[in-house]
Amino acid sequence: MKETITPHGGNLINREIAGDEKAHLDQRVKGLKKIRLDSRQISDVEMIAVGAFSPLEGFIRKEDYHSILHNMRLKNGLPWTIPIILAVIKDEAKGLKEGEDIALQDGEGEILAVLHLEEKYLAEKDQEALQVYGTQDAKHPGVAYLYQSGEVLLGGRISLLRRSKHTQFEKYRFDPKDTRRIFRERGWKRIAGFQTRNPVHRAHEYIQKCALETVDGLLLHPLVGETKADDIPAEVRMQCYEVLLENYYPKDRVFMAVLPAAMRYAGPKEAIFHAIVRKNYGCTHFIVGRDHAGVGDYYGSFDAHYIFDEFSPDELGITPLFFDFTFYCRRCGQMTSNKTCPHLSQDHVSLSGTKVREMLRRGEVPPPEFTRPEIAAVLIEWARAQKEEYHS
């Protein structure tokens, strides 16, 4: 069976080297200059290497950087909205020469990959903050990371020698080539991808199942890379999904895998980016809900919908599925949305994340119209453990 969607740019990139090439580089790396990566950079290296960021073969060069910031495209015109960059401080950059190979280390000094350095250039942080995040406010987590990172950007292809040590979610780690193979084996031609960094609740379940009515299969793809410190941990979110899948989803029509990418909190720009990444994983459709990848009050509720109008369907190649604000309506007696429910807000059951966290800290079970009782139990147990750890 043929694949139902081609990767972004036409080919699934593979920069994970093996055989003689790996043996040769392994011999050389100890003598190379070295750069120590943070957790976001490590995940970016892996995402590039396995093809999740196709067509990128490495960290972007200056022309692509400027084109992404100002045109939302690579220099060749292909849609791309988030610059994948490797930033270092000026003192570190001084000793690096274009044309040489640089070893990339994790926090423990293990060499993971080699950067084939093609270009050094200066970051334009104010422009990047404004164009990617829509703000220069350092309280925005993506902008905060940007401003505290290095001033010099290193562009060039990477060669992955070994992956970082993963101790969690081993049975859910699948590369794009794996998910594409699984979709083929299951005979799925239309696959909807769902991105989340939050615990699943009834509104998520509703839009996932609405999408599932129109496609062959659903890829639940929780992000487990770096997130904000106050986001609920990935292991808790995954436990919630496991409970939901076990009890409320058709097992032959849903597949769950983790996305080991870092969260940028870039709102509409990240919605496009997340869609492209899921296209590389083999999805033909991508669910875009309210305030996708948003944080605080930096973005309008449906800015992540409107941005798709800036691209033609052919150039993106993946179909967005837009969902309005969803909730339980007491008068309708079901989950619904502003698109289909005629009743007033006092009939709606909808809780903010802040309100839910307050309830959990008090050991109160959120109403079943908001979240499944089994999931509430997982979250209350987590909140209780957090409270005990805080007071110990």
Residues 6+ apart with CB under 8 A from 211: 192, 194, 218, 285, 287, 321
Residue with tokens 């769902």: 194
Contact yes or no for 151/87 (Cβ under 8 A): yes
What pLDDT is stored for residue 353 in this prediction? 67
Closest CA to 58 of 6, 113, 5: 113
| Per-residue pLDDT tens digits for 58-103 | 999 999 999 999 999 999 999 999 999 999 999 999 999 999 999 9
Is residue 327 within 8 A of residue 206, CB to CB? The reply is: no
Q: Looking at residue 217, what is its pLDDT?
A: 98
| The pLDDT of residue 362 is above 90 | no
Instruction: Give 1's pLDDT tier (boundaries 50, 70, 90).
Output: low
CA 166, CA 163: separation in Å to the nearest integer? 8
Handedness of CA 241, 207, 294, 66 (dihedral sign): positive
What is the reported pLDDT for 391? Answer: 65
In this predicted model, what pLDDT tens digit does every residue of 280-332 receive, in sequence order?
Answer: 999 999 999 989 999 999 999 999 999 999 999 999 999 999 999 999 999 99
The SS3 call for residue 390 is: helix
Cβ-contact 103, 114 below 8 angstroms: yes
Residue 276 has pLDDT above 70, yes or no: yes
Rounded distance between C-alpha atoms, residue 306 and residue 350, angstroms: 24
Q: Is the pLDDT at 35 greater than 90, yes or no?
A: yes
Q: Which residues are catalytic?
A: 197-198
State the pTM of this model: 0.95
Least confident range of 106-115, 123-132, 223-232: 223-232
What whole-number percentage of the chain has pLDDT above 90? Answer: 83
* Cα–Cα dist 168/157, whole Å: 28
> Long-range contacts: 79-82, Cβ < 8 Å, 24+?
79/8, 79/272, 79/276, 79/311, 79/315, 79/316, 80/273, 80/276, 81/132, 81/266, 81/269, 81/270, 81/272, 81/273, 82/132, 82/264, 82/266, 82/269, 82/270, 82/273
What pLDDT sits at residue 151?
98
Tell me the domains of the chain and their CATH numbers: 19-160 (3.10.400.10), 170-259+265-391 (3.40.50.620)
| pLDDT of the residue at 286 | 98
Please list the alpha-helical segments (H only) found in the chain.
19-28, 39-49, 62-71, 90-94, 125-128, 141-148, 176-186, 202-212, 234-248, 268-280, 303-306, 313-316, 353-361, 373-391
Query: Would you place residue 204 in the very low, low, confident or very high pLDDT band (cuts 50, 70, 90)?
Result: very high
Which residues are within 8 A (CB) of 195 and not within 5 positions of it... i.e. 6 or more apart? 221, 222, 223, 259, 274, 278, 286, 287, 292, 293
d(CA 327, CA 324): 10
Of 255, 52, 31, 64, nearest to 163 (Cα)?
52
Q: State how far the Cα of 182 lies from the Cα of 187, in Å rounded to an integer.
A: 9
Between 128 and 377, where is the model more confident? 128
pLDDT at 263 over 80: yes
- Give yes or no for residue 390 having a pLDDT over 70: no
Cα 318 → chain centroid: 16
What mean pLDDT comes out for the span 46-68? 98
Helix (H, G, I), strand (E, B) or coil at 379: helix
* Average pLDDT taken over every residue of the chain: 94
Which residues touch 225 (CB under 8 Å, ≥6 apart)? 39, 40, 43, 259, 260, 261, 262, 263
Contacting residues for 265 by C-beta, under 8 A, at least 6 apart: 133, 140, 141, 142, 228, 293, 294, 295
* C-alpha to C-alpha distance for 197 and 231, rounded to whole angstroms: 8
* pLDDT confidence band for 36 (50 / 70 / 90): very high
pLDDT of residue 197: 82
